[in-house]
Amino acid sequence: MPALTLERLVASIGFGSRKEARALIRAGMVEMDGEVVDDPFVEFKARPETIVVNGEEIPTVEKLYIMMDKPLDVECSHNARDHQSIYSLLPDRFTAMGLQSVGRLDADSSGLILLSNQGDFIHKVESPKKGYLKKYRVTLAREFTAEQKAELLKGVMLKDERRPVLARELSEERIVIDGEEKDTVVISIGEGLYHQVRRMFAAVGNHVMTLSREAIGPVTMDGSLGSGGWRFMTEEEVTSLTK
C-alpha cells in the first residue's frame, strides 16, 4: 500500500485531485498542530484525526455516514429542479467524496435523512430484506377515525401496486407544533414506495397535511440538530444498521 502522504490525505477528504491537493498545500493552506505544512509529500505512520484546511478544522474520515434533519422545500437530488438541493446544506467536499442520500424524502416532507458514500451501507439500509421500519409523524386534514385506523393496520391497495401495504405500527398523539397543540398520527411502514404514507391515508379517505420522518430502524432523529442541521452518525448508529 502506498505511503499516506499529506497530498493523498487532503485529496481523500474531498479537496480535489492529488494535483489540486498538492497546489493547496504548497499555497500554505494546510496546517497541522498549529503549524503550516507546505510539503505535500510529508508521510504519516497513522492517519491524523483532523487537519486544518483554509482555517477550518476538518475531520479526516473517508467513509461518510451523516444524519440530517431535512427541511421542507429541499430536494434529495444532486440535480434539484424546483428547490434547493439537500447537498447545498453540506460542505462541497462531501459531493466530491461521492455522498448520496439513503433513500429519499420528498420536497414537501421533512425530518430524518441519512447520507453516505458507502455503497454497502446504502444497500443494506434500503434493502427490503433488512426490513427496517420507517417511522413518520403526520398531521391530517380530517378527523382520524377508528375505521381508518383499522383499514391501515389491515392493509390497503395503492394504485399500480401488486399487493396491499399496511401500517406496521400506528398511534395517535397530541403534541405542540409551532407553539400550538395538534393531533398527530405516528405511522411505521416497512416499504419505501413513492409517496407511500400520503397515498395510504388518501386510500382510507383522509389527507396528509404535514409529514416528518422520525426514525429509520433503530436510528432516531437527533432533536438537537434543528431544521437543516446535520452531524456525523455515531459508530453505534452505523453498527445498528449494518449488523
Residue 106 falls in the annotated catalytic set: yes
Buried/exposed code over 20-49 (b: 16+ C-beta within 10 A; e: otherwise) = ebbebbeeebbbeeeeebeebebeeeeeee
Rg (CA), the chain: 22
Main-chain phi, psi angles of 112, to 5 degrees: -65, 125
Number of Cα atoms under 13 Å in the Cβ half of residue 76: 21
Contact by Cβ (8 Å): 229, 68? yes
- Which of 106, 108, 120, 183 is catalytic? The answer is 106
User: Is residue 174 packed enough to be buried (19+ CB in 10 Å), middle (13-18) or exposed (0-12)?
Assistant: exposed
Could you list the active site residues?
A: 106
